Amino acid sequence: MSEMTAPAPAPAPAPAPAAASETPLLRIWREFAESKVALFGLALFLLSILAALLAPWITPQNPYDLATLDIMDSRMPPGSVSMDNLVFLLGSDGQGRDMLSAMLYGLRISLFVGVVAVALALAIGAVAGIAAAYLGGHVDTLIMRIVDIQLSFPAILVALILLAVLGNGVDKVIIALVTVQWAYFARAARGAALVERNKEYVEAARCLGLKRPRILLRHLLPNCMPALIVIGTVDIARAITLEATLSFLGLGVPVTEPSLGMLIANGFDYLLSGVYWISMFPGIALTIVIVAINLVGDRLRDVLNPRLKR
Amino acid sequence: MLVFIIRRLLQAALVVAVMSVLVFVGIYLIGDPLAILASPEATEIDREEIARALGLDRPLWEQYMAFIGSAFIGEFGKSFVFGQPAMGLILERMPATLELAFTATIMAFCIGVPLGVYAGLRHETAAAQTIMAGSILGFSLPNFWVGLMLIMIFAVQLGWMPASGRGPTIEVLGIQLSIFSAKGWHHILLPAITLALSKCALIIRLARATAREVMLMDYVKFARAKGLSERRVVGVHILKNIMVPVATVTGLELGALIAFAVITETIFSWPGMGKLLIDSITQLDRPVIVAYLIVVVFMLVAINLIVDILYSVLDPRVRLGGAQ
């Protein structure tokens, strides 16, 4: 994520109303913080990122270290104690892995895939959309036709077929997600850029004799960012869900790097015999992360939407 | 209008062509169907024979041309695995998928619209807030996980519903359907709820947003001023105007629902074409994958076209231009 958000806010020419002395970023934060629910969502999201980053240090067990696993510990219900006196707070899976540890590691992969895929999709989509809006003509028609056709297909289907062709792997899941998601950003960026294109600062930049790429990237792009950030936030949730779904079908991440979706799939085999925790807890974790992101995205949409400005 | 339809159909044909090439090449690259089809003990001669029988010994472009040639006369090749025409396999399983998708759509619509309209009209009340919170949860919940949890609660713990399969079907107008028997409903209920959940959330949000917009319109104020009963204002004036966007979105989402049925069908072992697709992907059954895609692309284009035309009928302000 950092690679995308870092260059964004800096060059934005702030059309601050004369009365307000606060910077735009501060204003956005103040308005965002007015909603307690959104703050709660943000806190949850940051917490889950923190948990994912710190997973190797805070988990009771390294779920990938086969030496620490004991098959005797497999499918223990939540709260039971393992052979080497480890408490399985959320139970253990088919291989005797501590579910809590496996989930935190899974969260790492889920979040990584979601954030990287959205960042790449945003970058590609933004450039394509802004180029389409600014250059117009055939470039515009071509890009938007591709976007239209792609958006008329359900994302899940495109990703499914792509992964069937590409095979398993974290990198391949990211490719598939970027492929299905860049179009949303391209469309939004084009819409925003069409409005911005006719504003005076763009004309001023053009009069200064600046080169096209510079106008596109340094002047138009930053001003299209609010719209893209809103979509981007919600899209992280969508990407994570999609990844989980694909992994559940066995077409996503490989077995060696189980994401939350993969963990749920693993539990599916035991579900019918009443072993519920292997599927249930990763699903709850997944839901919490997605709800948190959606709450933040919902609020951001309200705050950054110029039409709703009070 | 005619120009519009023709343009759409041409576009669809192009998409199908591009897609078929990509899938053909892509699946060719990932693996050799022979490795899966031929038994491990098969001799080299046996393998060659299978390859020749399926046309796999020829170069890729020849295979593709042969495929295209026969596709034009309605032949989509035989499934490597089943040995039957791929298109026949898909069509045979289509009623099950469509039945599931339509049941889910109707469920989502019938539950979503009233809740959404209520939340829009009484948006200050606690009930409305609860509905909206529920809708956020509705589309945040990972769909496939909801399916698993429903199986866990209703099939494993309570034992009320079967966990998988379609149950007995009854032939109606030559199509095997399960919604006409109590047993069939038993089987379809859980997968349909799973599939309907996120769409229901979407419809609630949309109906609420439109209801709030429509509520402020002059004709609604006028209807109130005329002294019409609240029931008539909501039931006729508001509801009718909400229907245009809601029906459009519901229709457009039907395509996504059919695609998403792939997952639901896999979880509930529902014998539809989505499950066939997943099985075919794992077995590299190229003709079936391509045939599935062609059918789905065709259905998506048809749905979009019908929705667009209906939209222009429902809302006279919309004109379908042949131009951009």
Closest residue in chain A to residue B274, using alpha carbons only: A157
Question: Are β-strands B170-172 and A87-88 bridged in parallel, bridged antiparallel, or unpaired?
Answer: unpaired
Name, in order, each residue with C-beta under 8 angstroms of B18's C-beta and a sequence gap of 6 or more. Answer: none
| Nearest by CB: B144 against A152, A245, A291 | A245
pLDDT at A121: 94
User: Could you read off the pLDDT of B59-118 as tens digits, one per residue?
Assistant: 667 777 777 776 666 666 677 777 778 788 888 888 888 888 989 999 999 999 989 888
pLDDT at A115: 92
Measured CA to CA, the distance from residue A107 to residue B122 in angstroms comes to: 39
Measured CA to CA, the distance from residue A210 to residue A204 in angstroms comes to: 9
Closest residue in chain A to residue B263, using alpha carbons only: A249
For chain A positions 249-278, those within 8 Å of chain B (CB to CB) are: 249-251, 261, 264, 267-268, 271-272, 274, 276
Q: Which of A19, A4, A10, A27 lies closest to A223 in space, CA to CA?
A: A10
User: Could you read off the pLDDT of B140-153 as tens digits, one per residue?
Assistant: 888 888 888 888 88
Which of A230-234, B41-45, B219-223, B225-229 has the lowest average pLDDT?
B41-45
Q: Which of B256, B261, B264, B93 lies closest to B164 in space, CA to CA?
A: B264
The alpha carbon of residue A58 and the mean position of all alpha carbons in its chain are separated, in whole angstroms, by 24
Residue the block writes with tokens 């990122």: A49
Helices A221-248 and A277-304 cross at an angle (nearest 10°) of: 160
The alpha carbon of residue A290 and the mean position of all alpha carbons in its chain are separated, in whole angstroms, by 9
pLDDT at B107: 92
Q: By the 8 A CB rule, do B154 and B110 touch?
A: no
User: What letter would DSSP give residue B172?
Assistant: E
To the nearest 5 percent, what fractions of chain B are helix, strand and coil? 75, 0, 20
User: Could you read off the pLDDT of A105-141 as tens digits, one per residue?
Assistant: 888 889 999 999 999 999 999 989 988 888 888 888 8
pLDDT at A120: 95
Instruction: Check CB contact of B152 with chain A, cutoff 8 Å.
Output: yes
HSE at residue B31, side-chain half, CA atoms within 13 A, is 15
Strand partners, B175: B172
pLDDT at B136: 83
Residue the block writes with tokens 């590609």: A124
Amino acid at A300: L
Q: By the 8 A CB rule, do A148 and A184 touch?
A: no
Q: By the 8 A CB rule, do A260 and A107 touch?
A: yes
pLDDT score of B180 more than 70: no
Closest residue in chain A to residue B259, using alpha carbons only: A157
Q: By the 8 A CB rule, do A270 and A75 touch?
A: yes
The alpha carbon of residue B226 is apart from the nearest alpha carbon of chain A, in Å, by 32
User: Could you read off the pLDDT of B126-140 as tens digits, one per residue?
Assistant: 888 888 888 888 888
| Chain-chain contact of B293 with A161 (C-beta, under 8 angstroms) | yes
Q: Find the radius of gyration of the CA atoms of chain B.
A: 24
Q: By the 8 A CB rule, do B295 and B94 touch?
A: yes
| Chain-chain contact of B136 with A295 (C-beta, under 8 angstroms) | yes
DSSP per position, chain A: -HHHHTTSSTT------SS--S-HHHHHHHHHHT-HHHHHHHHHHHHHHHHHHTHHHHSSS-TT-GGG--GGGTTPPTTEE-TTS-EETT-B-TTS-BHHHHHHHHHHHHHHHHHHHHHHHHHHHHHHHHHHHHH-HHHHHHHHHHHHHHHTS-HHHHHHHHHHHH-S-HHHHHHHHHHHHHHHHHHHHHHHHHHHHTSHHHHHHHHTT--HHHIIIIIIHHHHHHHHHHHHHHHHHHHHHHHHHHHHTTSSS-TTS--HHHHHHHHHHHHTTT--HHHHHHHHHHHHHHHHHHHHHHHHHHHH-GGG--
Measured CA to CA, the distance from residue B77 to residue B81 in angstroms comes to: 12
| Nearest by CB: B266 against A153, A154, A249 | A249
Q: In which region does residue A90 sit, left (phi positive, over 0), alpha (psi from -120 to 50) or beta (all else)?
A: alpha
User: Could you read off the pLDDT of A146-169 as tens digits, one per residue?
Assistant: 888 788 778 888 888 888 877 788
What does the buried/exposed string (b/e) look like for B107-134 if buried means 16 or more CB atoms within 10 Å of the residue's CB?
A: bbbebbbebbbbbbbeeeeeebeebbee
Instruction: Check CB contact of B266 with chain A, cutoff 8 Å.
Output: yes
| Chain-chain contact of B263 with A153 (C-beta, under 8 angstroms) | no
Largest CA distance in chain B: 87
| Chain-chain contact of A264 with B144 (C-beta, under 8 angstroms) | yes
Q: By the 8 A CB rule, do B301 and B5 touch?
A: no
Contacts with B266 from chain A: Cβ below 8 Å: 249
Instruction: Check CB contact of B138 with chain A, cutoff 8 Å.
Output: no
Interface test with A, best of B16, B25, B140, B293 (most A CBs within 10 A): B140
Instruction: Please state, as a whole number, how many other Cβ atoms lie within 10 Å of the Cβ of residue B322.
Output: 11
| Chain-chain contact of B300 with A153 (C-beta, under 8 angstroms) | yes
pLDDT block averages, 10 residues each, chain A of length 310:
42 47 78 82 89 79 70 68 68 74 87 93 91 86 84 83 81 90 90 84 84 82 83 89 88 80 82 78 89 87 64
| Chain-chain contact of B142 with A165 (C-beta, under 8 angstroms) | no
Instruction: Check CB contact of B136 with chain A, cutoff 8 Å.
Output: yes
pLDDT at A125: 92
Interface test with B, best of A48, A146, A165 (most B CBs within 10 A): A165
| Chain-chain contact of A161 with B256 (C-beta, under 8 angstroms) | no
Task: Number of A to B CB contacts under 8 A, please give it.
Answer: 110
Contacts with B148 from chain A: Cβ below 8 Å: 264, 267-268, 271, 279, 283
| Chain-chain contact of B262 with A149 (C-beta, under 8 angstroms) | no
Q: By the 8 A CB rule, do A99 and A289 touch?
A: no
Amino acid at A153: F
pLDDT at A209: 83
Contacts with A286 from chain B: Cβ below 8 Å: 142, 145
User: Could you read off the pLDDT of B8-65 as tens digits, one per residue?
Assistant: 778 777 777 777 777 777 666 665 666 656 666 666 677 677 666 666 666 667 777 7
pLDDT at B105: 92
Which pair of structure tokens corresponds to residue A303? Answer: 């705050």
- Label residue B176 by pLDDT band (50, 70, 90): low
Amino acid at B59: P
